[in-house]
Amino acid sequence: MNNHFTVTIHDDNGVKQFSVHRLVKKALFYALGFILTLVVIAVGTIYYLQESVEKVEVKRHGIELAYQEVERKNSDLKESMQSVNDSLDLKKKELGELSDSLAEIETLIGLKPMAESSIAERVIATKIGSQHRAVLMQLIPNGSPIEYHGITSKYGYRMHPTLHKREFHRGTDMRAKMKTPVYAPADGIVEWSGMHKKSGYGRLVILEHSYGFKTYYGHLKKTVVKSGQFVKKGQLIAYTGNSGMSNGPHLHYEIRFIHRNLNPYWFIKWTQQNYDEIFKKEKKVPWQSLIMATAHLMLVKPTQTQQSLPLAQKSKVK
């Protein structure tokens, strides 16, 4: 058996022959096959890696797009959050201003500010308080019955201007020109309207109000209401004059509670602006009991009057 083979090489120098053992031939064949296999594997690997790289690149591009979308949404969210924060800051500021304004209203209407309560609870309490005040301001005499120009003679002991002796002045003499309009300071019914010679009040109007209050208007020039007539707060009832025991035109104004004379000064001053002051100044009226008795009442449309405005514009009663 021949284990050799001959390799012939022709070149410029002639012909050369080499004898190669068959084992070497097989080794070379296998080596060539191995190399070809490695080449095929390398090419396949390169193709696979290239394809994988392309897939990774596609994924990377997709991730970049997703990241950009997340960044955009994050930016929009930041803008939205900033807008919400700005809105919340504005609402906090508005609530702070509302709370301050509400505290002023609470103070104005005599409620103690409820710092621990919610705004809604405080608003409800304020609404109830203001409704109740409107009831009292409608039914109980308050404000000036005439355009206010001062007081000529106060409530209390004085020297009588015509009798020239010291006596108790049951009312307040209010400065007024002849024929100054006189208005009802609260809802009521006319108990008396006309001349009242025995008292010295001259032409007199007496209004009976709710819960035991009465008001007297003396030395009038003319009355425009009749006995038994119902009147509303702010309604014209008479004109000032100089009738009866008087030394000049003015209005004699009295307020009584269950036949007890009260100082009209505090009622003339009584407005929404100093609502709770009268409770401290006038001790003859059981205010707490009155407030409890009227707490359930409600007015559909309280009367808005103008005659007390000149007084409300003054800081003090002269």
**Residue that finishes a domain, picked among 72, 95, 128:** 72
User: How far apart, in Å, are the Cα atoms of 45 and each of 30, 32, 55, 127, 268?
Assistant: 22, 19, 15, 85, 107
Which segment of 124-128, 182-186, 199-203, 278-282 scores lowest on mean pLDDT? 124-128
Q: Which residue has the higher pLDDT, 116 or 211?
A: 211
Cβ of 317: how many Cβ atoms within 10 Å?
A: 15
In a shared domain, residues 291 and 169 = yes
In a shared domain, residues 187 and 284 = yes
| Number of domains the chain is built from | 2
In a shared domain, residues 50 and 181 = no
Answer whether residue 242 is part of any domain.
Answer: yes
Any idea what DSSP says for residue 237? E
Region of residue 169 (phi > 0: left; psi between -120 and 50: alpha; otherwise: beta):
beta
In a shared domain, residues 306 and 219 = yes
Count of alpha carbons within 13 angstroms of residue 175, beta-carbon side: 8
pLDDT in tens, 112-122: 555 566 777 66
Full-model pTM: 0.59
Average of per-residue pLDDT values in the chain: 83
The residues with which 252 forms a beta bridge, in sequence order, are 173, 218
| CATH number of the domain where residue 301 is located | 2.70.70.10
In a shared domain, residues 281 and 207 = yes
Cβ of 200: how many Cβ atoms within 10 Å?
A: 17
In a shared domain, residues 141 and 67 = no
In a shared domain, residues 173 and 43 = no
Listed residue (281, 279, 298) closest to 289, CA to CA: 279
Is the confidence at residue 274, as pLDDT, over 80? yes
CA 168 – CA 98 distance, rounded (Å):
49
CA 26 – CA 31 distance, rounded (Å):
8
CB 93 within 8 A of CB 74: no
Any idea what DSSP says for residue 263? -
In a shared domain, residues 159 and 237 = yes
What is the pLDDT, as a whole number, of residue 24? 65
Instruction: Give residue 281's domain range.
Output: 137-312
**Residue that finishes a domain, picked among 28, 55, 72:** 72
In a shared domain, residues 175 and 249 = yes
Is the confidence at residue 290, as pLDDT, over 60? yes
Listed residue (263, 285, 259) closest to 168, CA to CA: 263
CA 179 – CA 249 distance, rounded (Å):
9
CA 167 – CA 151 distance, rounded (Å):
18
In a shared domain, residues 182 and 260 = yes
CA 221 – CA 243 distance, rounded (Å):
6
Answer whether residue 235 is part of any domain.
Answer: yes
In a shared domain, residues 61 and 199 = no
In a shared domain, residues 153 and 249 = yes
What is the pLDDT, as a whole number, of residue 33? 87
pLDDT in tens, 29-38: 888 888 889 8
Buried b (16+ CB within 10 A) or exposed e, 50-70: eeeeeeeeeeeeeeeeeeeee
Which segment of 50-64, 119-133, 158-172 scores lowest on mean pLDDT? 119-133
